[in-house]
Amino acid sequence: MTGLSPARTRLALLALALGGFGIGATEFVASGLLPQIASDLLPSLDASSPQKAIAQAGIMISAYAAGVVVGAPTIAVFAARLPRKGLLIALVAAFTLGSLASALAPTFPLVVAARFVAALPHGAYFGIAALVAASLMGPGKRGRGVAFVLSGLTIANVIGVPAITLLGQQAGWRVAYVAVAGIFALAMVAIWLAVPRQPGDPAATAARELGGFRHATVWFALLTGAVGFGGFFAVQSYIAPLATHVAGLASGFVPVVLIVAGLGMTLGNLVGGHLADRGATRTVFFCFGAFAVAFTVLGLTARWPVGLYLGVFLVATTASALSPAIQTRLMDVAGESQTLAAAANHSALNIGNSLGAFLGGAVISAGFGYLAPTWVGLALCVPGVALALVGTLLSRRQHAVTSRGGREPIAPLSGV
């Protein structure tokens, strides 16, 4: 992308980040409102067992994650040739309608279905927006371009999610989703006004995009992200009862805990973007080591408010730093399938979302308490590191084969 003034470039990036802000709000606001949602939509179960009602309400989070998993590769594969600005506007319009449907659906099954549908554009938006941001930032700054788009999501967790959670606690959770729809409407206007026209890839075909899945290194990168974020979402999905039932805080402090998590995500995203430009693979291993420390700190200290704040901050920071590294790693190993790689990352992260919400809910339902999901997150670090290690070894083998004149495609080592 050339010919844009620095001011216009910043405005375009901010418009893309505003869409990410809306996505962060719609994805994470349920975590702080699960007790209210369970009370409203599952009154009988909530009366007999609030713990089980909250765990069942967590299905909303898993449904959203499943929608991302389905929508990201599907839309990316068939939309790679379309003009990117128009596609982004269409995706944000779909978010607006999906959020309104979530607010208006009268029963729990319909709300779950609405959350699934609302999530379909998630991965495609971030994938296309990341490609646009990378072109705006220029060569050598892909990680920072990805991080800038994701900064909208992380800042949403500092400002948007706590504010909307407080609104939902005071005015009802349905009003919270109406507010989310309003954010998407603003993002749609901002993208229309600020983002320059950018054509799609005229050479893209569904077969070429799907060809990226032929590379084992792509699958291992995706699985690494899924398992890594599974640990984060095991904690994040049940952060409200963790704060109130384990740390003994009043419900009014839940937005404060969410702000702390959002600050951690914002810092982690910025640090992760810079580290990814210096070596994506090294960053992945570093993040998993830090992840293990963060879960341990949270698990041992969450019974005290200060320990809860510190542990949540550390878990959110390390999780958010992992995302730009996985995204950059996927762009390295996907070859020509860049649109698919950019979107599939969000499928992987939301497989982690669904996995974490499910495993966290399972250990809570089994009677292990609201602190148990923290230890689930720690346990998931082990397969995460193993998957990253296998993917790295495959990259090295492919590089060695290519160096000897073989035909296997090169998978860039990204700092290995």
Q: Which residue segments constitute the domains of the chain, with CATH numbers given?
A: 6-403 (1.20.1250.20)
CB atoms within 10 A of CB 1: 14
What is the spatial distance between Cα 96 and Cα 370, in angstroms, rounded to a whole number? Answer: 33
What number is the average pLDDT over the span 186-206? 81
Q: Please spell the DSSP secondary structure of 261-293, one letter per residue.
A: HHHHHHHHHHHHHHHHHH-HHHHHHHHHHHHHH
SS3 189: helix
pLDDT (tens digit, 9 = 90+) per residue, 106-159? 999 999 999 999 999 988 898 788 778 877 876 666 667 667 777 887 788 788
String of DSSP letters for 61-115:
HHHHHHHHHHHHHHHHHHHTTS-HHHHHHHHHHHHHHHHHHHHH--SHHHHHHHH
CA atoms within 13 A on the CB side of 388: 27
Higher pLDDT pick, 358 / 76: 358
Tokens 């950019």 -> residue: 342
Read off the tokens for 199. 């054509």
Question: Which candidate, 229, 330, 233, 350, places its Cα nearest to that of 287?
Answer: 229
Per-residue CA distances from 396 to 150, 156, 221, 249, 401 (Å): 29, 38, 14, 49, 9
pLDDT at 204 over 70: no
Predicted local distance difference test score (pLDDT) of residue 414:
40
Q: What is the pTM of this model?
A: 0.71
Q: What does the alpha-carbon distance between residue 159 and residue 348 come to, in Å, rounded to a whole number?
A: 26
Which pLDDT tens digit goes with each residue over 365-379? 888 989 999 999 999
Q: What would the two tokens of residue 261 be?
A: 């998590």
**Torsional class of 205: left (φ above 0), alpha (ψ -120 to 50), beta (otherwise):** beta
Torsion sign (Cα): 266, 218, 414, 195: negative
At residue 337, what are phi and psi to the nearest 5 degrees? -85, 55
Longest dimension (CA), the chain: 68
Q: Which among 270, 325, 124, 300 has a CA at the least distance from the CA of 209?
A: 124
Condensed to tens digits (0 to 9), the pLDDT of residues 12-26 reads 889 999 999 999 899
pLDDT of residue 408: 46
Q: Which residue has the tokens 């009268």?
A: 106
First to last CA, the chain: 30
